[in-house]
Amino acid sequence: MDVVDRFVEAVPELPGPPPGDPGTLFRRGRRRRRRRLAVVSSGTAVGVIAVVAVAVGLLDGPDRQVPDIADRPAGELVERAPDAGVVDEHWPVELTYVQNEREFRFRGTSWADWSVELKVGQDSWRLVDREHPVEEYETEGAGAFRDEGTSSAESEGFLRAPGPHLIGSWRSATGLGERVVVELEAIPGGVELVQQMGLSSEDVEAYVTPSIAGCDGRLPDCVPAGQSAARGIAHLPTGFPLFAEEGHDGGSGVYLEARSIRWADSSIAPVPADQIPRMSDHAAADAERAAGRSQLRHGSLTDRTFELGSDHLWSAIGHPSEVATRFAREVMGWTDAEPIDLTGDLPERATVTVRADGMREVTFDLEALDPTGERYGITQVNSRPDQELRIEDDHQLRWAPSVPHEVAGGLALVRTVHDGTVRIDLDPATTADGRVSLDGHLTAPQPCQDAQAALIAILDDDGRVIEITGAHWNSSGSSLCP
């Protein structure tokens, strides 16, 4: 029986869900709907409709109430920043921001004319979202849009906020109905962030969720046990979000951090969709891929092809040449690595050759593993043609430091250990064709079981990385975890 058939047969054998009550879920859903419609009927500005809807739609966990924001001036500080999307007299706006390690650029002159782009190269941006009215609100004057990009939008034309990358996270993180205004200084790093953008504290407004008002330390240290909280900074003239951090007991994460903001400048305009290649341009991608393959066959430095594991993931954002360069610098330790040859400049797939001083060139084959270009699989297509690789019984392999451990799409990629060192006891054996087969035991970082795959860097006597390989384990047993 084919393995997929076995999978299909196995799924129904998984444990079923715990008991539930359809009535409870139905009423919860209808309450959400009523709140959304109540906002519409009360004549609240259309932008808020979208914001509230997305906030409700994205808020996780318990069903939260979303009271009118106008009723919530907290403490002695009164909220002044308008909601992004509510006012239109301050347009146009250009905001660049980082979210989930990706840099985006929002440009717009009104909520009927805006775009969101993802940075894919040094000066290269790719459109990921743009205005697209949803029928339900079209007659209300727009303000709610379908996500036309490749993000994890719900399908079927259901409501999305304008620029889900921009607004949704900020609203859900800061807690639309649960925030109080605080001094900017209460958010560590807030003053510096604002200054970096050429703004002053007079240009922004800072918020926190009420439970952490008065705490100006690290967010995880402020959050009461078992609870969650958030902080945010908004740009006062426009209401656009500049910073959002959400924390819970023991941890926190920054979901949005602005890099720059410009407004009231007529030169700002959203980018027409037809001027930027879309991810859906598969025909072009196929052509580029074919070209890349051709070059590989004829341009390889070695007649021996070495593949870096299977589907080793490298979560990086940007143009493929940047991804490959970062990989070489951060994982291989080639601090002066530079891309020298790029075949295929589309985000989906590319072949990039990287060179570093004193090192052989290495060619990577990169393929975006999801349609947003958020994650690349990297295959090293040529490696270690002639290098002398000394493998001794007590060979010690140094791990590239300062690269975080990360779980990516179910395949964990270990790129560091706590002390920057991974020790592998190798049991080298030479295969019939002269290749060295590596097997042995890895003293893996903890928690070892979190990592299902590892990249292993092999160094020469000078401590330089001359080869990257990978390892993973399967259910039959692992040699990586103790």
Residues 421-440 that bind another protein (CB under 8 A): 431, 435-439
6 scored as a contact of another protein (CB under 8 A): yes
What are the phi and psi torsion angles at 256 (to 5°)? -155, 130
3 scored as a contact of another protein (CB under 8 A): yes
- Judged by CB under 8 A, the residue of 395, 409, 421, 481 near another protein is 409
How far is Cα 454 from Cα 456, in angstroms, rounded to an integer? 6
How far is Cα 237 from Cα 82, in angstroms, rounded to an integer? 8
- Judged by CB under 8 A, the residue of 131, 203, 365, 467 near another protein is 467
Say how many residues touch another protein, by CB under 8 A: 88
Tokens of 189: 């790093």
Q: Which stretch binds another protein (CB under 8 A): 42-50, 148-156, 260-268, 335-343?
A: 148-156
Q: Are 343 and 324 in contact (CB under 8 A)?
A: no
How far is Cα 330 from Cα 367, in angstroms, rounded to an integer? 19
Question: Which residues, numbered 18-47, are part of the site for another protein (CB under 8 A)?
Answer: 18, 20, 22-23, 25-30, 32-33, 36
452 scored as a contact of another protein (CB under 8 A): yes
Nearest Cα to Cα of residue 49 among 170, 167, 166, 174:
167
Minimum CB separation of residue 60 from another protein in Å reads 5
Minimum CB separation of residue 460 from another protein in Å reads 13
Tokens of 216: 């100006």
- Judged by CB under 8 A, the residue of 60, 123, 303, 388 near another protein is 60
Nearer to another protein, 122 or 476 (CB): 476
Question: Which residues, numbered 337-376, are part of the site for another protein (CB under 8 A)?
Answer: 369-371, 375
Q: Which stretch binds another protein (CB under 8 A): 104-112, 153-161, 333-341, 413-421?
A: 153-161
Tokens of 300: 């390889």
Question: Which residues, numbered 224-263, are part of the site for another protein (CB under 8 A)?
Answer: 246, 248, 250-251, 253, 255
Minimum CB separation of residue 226 from another protein in Å reads 12
Using alpha carbons, list the distances in angstroms from residue 331 to 240, 288, 318, 348, 356.
36, 27, 17, 22, 13
175 scored as a contact of another protein (CB under 8 A): no
- DSSP characters over 194-235: HHHTT--GGGEEEEE-GGGTT--S-HHHHSPTT-EEEEEEEE
- Judged by CB under 8 A, the residue of 80, 218, 282, 390 near another protein is 282
How far is Cα 190 from Cα 448, in angstroms, rounded to an integer? 36
Tokens of 89: 């007299």
Nearer to another protein, 10 or 463 (CB): 10
Question: Which residues, numbered 285-314, are part of the site for another protein (CB under 8 A)?
Answer: 286, 306-313
